């Protein structure tokens, strides 16, 4: 029986981890969602959108032959780790092309096993089956649930500089698409960036537009108290009048001459600023 790619189940992004003991909390790994299939035609690995990447993941495909099952569909995250042992998304692309033997597949769900579709089984039972077929010593590893309450696990994950956690209802069945039975809670980071513009429209929250080393990053909300907000606008006023950055002419914004630097709090692991707020600012103008 030939097994086919199953569209992934996707966690919803939320602000707080769920409470109660009906949840498993796992590390949110910073990598590529991957589906590993074994059937009578051999072993295949697919991207999140169902593209066959078996050739790119050849060492992982070879190791999958050691898993203790005749056929399966396993869900996981393909990662590469840095010196600190943390998943490193930015190093992943070059690792795939230059050193695929350094990749790890962190397996977190089992959708099919030895001819049986497991998607109607509770998550805790699917994961027990997955744990049973992965022997130690492989670069295919089981994603262990972290002990403790959601709040405690989330706090520890952020302290350890991880991207966040994924909380999953232990009794949830597997259904393709987005679901609140799985929830991702990301950690926040703070970083200094250049303030290159402001957006101030009546009836809308004020935003500063940020760039990092010349690359536009998006906007951050200004949530200061009135006195500090006024101090920011006073600084902004002396810098208004710069030309729009390349490709940004259509943005409704006041563009600023260089010199203002802001410390921004934002969600970790995103290409652009998300859920971002301005925490502080300073003027580096001569």
Pick the CATH number of 9-186 from 3.90.1150.10, 3.30.160.150, 3.30.470.30, 3.40.50.620: 3.30.470.30
- The domain limits of the chain are 9-186, 188-283
Share of the chain above pLDDT 70, in %: 100
In sequence order, the β-bridge partners of residue 11 are 179
Determine the pLDDT at residue 255.
Answer: 93
Question: CB-side exposure of 70: number of CA atoms within 13 Å?
Answer: 6
* Cα–Cα distance list, 119 to 1, 28, 131, 174, 265 (Å): 17, 22, 16, 5, 38
Burial of 107 (0-12, 13-18, 19+ CB in 10 A): buried
pLDDT tens column, 75-103 = 999 999 988 888 888 889 999 999 999 99
39 pLDDT more than 90? yes
Taking residues 182-203, what's their average pLDDT?
92
188-283 has CATH 2.40.50.140 classification: yes
251 pLDDT more than 90? no
Determine the pLDDT at residue 201.
Answer: 85
Q: What share of the chain is helix, strand, coil (3-state, %, to 5)?
A: 20, 40, 45
279 pLDDT more than 80? yes
250 pLDDT more than 80? no
Q: Are 219 and 207 in contact (CB under 8 A)?
A: yes
As a whole number of angstroms, the distance between CA 281 and CA 208 comes to 11
143 pLDDT more than 90? yes
Determine the pLDDT at residue 120.
Answer: 98
**Strand, coil or helix: what is 161?**
coil
239 pLDDT more than 80? yes
The closest alpha carbon to 277, from 213, 224, 239, 228, belongs to 224
pLDDT: which is higher, 89 or 74: 74
Taking residues 143-153, what's their average pLDDT?
94
């Amino acid at each position: 029986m030939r097994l086919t790619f199953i569209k992934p189940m996707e966690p919803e992004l939320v602000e707080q981890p769920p409470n109660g003991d009906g949840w498993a909390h796992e590390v949110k790994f910073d990598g590529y969602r991957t589906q590993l299939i074994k059937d009578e035609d051999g072993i295949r690995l697919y991207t999140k959108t169902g593209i066959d990447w078996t050739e790119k993941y050849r060492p992982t495909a070879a190791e999958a032959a050691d898993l203790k099952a005749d056929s399966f569909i396993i869900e996981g995250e393909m990662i590469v780790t840095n010196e600190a042992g943390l998943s490193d998304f930015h190093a992943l692309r070059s690792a795939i092309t230059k050193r695929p033997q350094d990749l790890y597949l962190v397996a977190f769900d089992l959708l099919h096993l030895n001819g049986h579709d497991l998607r109607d089984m509770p998550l805790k039972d699917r994961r027990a089956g997955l744990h049973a077929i992965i022997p130690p010593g492989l670069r295919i590893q089981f994603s262990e649930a972290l002990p403790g309450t959601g709040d405690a696990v989330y706090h520890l994950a952020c302290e350890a500089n991880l991207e966040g956690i994924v909380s999953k209802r232990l009794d949830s069945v597997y259904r393709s698409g987005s679901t609140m039975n799985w929830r991702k809670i990301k950690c926040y980071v703070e970083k200094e960036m250049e303030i290159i513009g402001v957006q101030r429209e009546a009836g809308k929250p004020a935003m500063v537009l940020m760039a990092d080393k010349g690359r536009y990053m998006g906007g951050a909300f200004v949530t200061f108290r009135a006195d500090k907000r006024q101090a920011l606008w006073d600084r902004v006023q002396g810098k208004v009048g710069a030309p729009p950055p390349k490709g940004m002419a259509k943005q409704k914004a006041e563009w600023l001459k260089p010199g203002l630097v802001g410390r921004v709090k934002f969600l970790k692991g995103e290409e652009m600023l998300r859920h971002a707020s301005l925490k502080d600012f300073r003027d580096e103008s001569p």
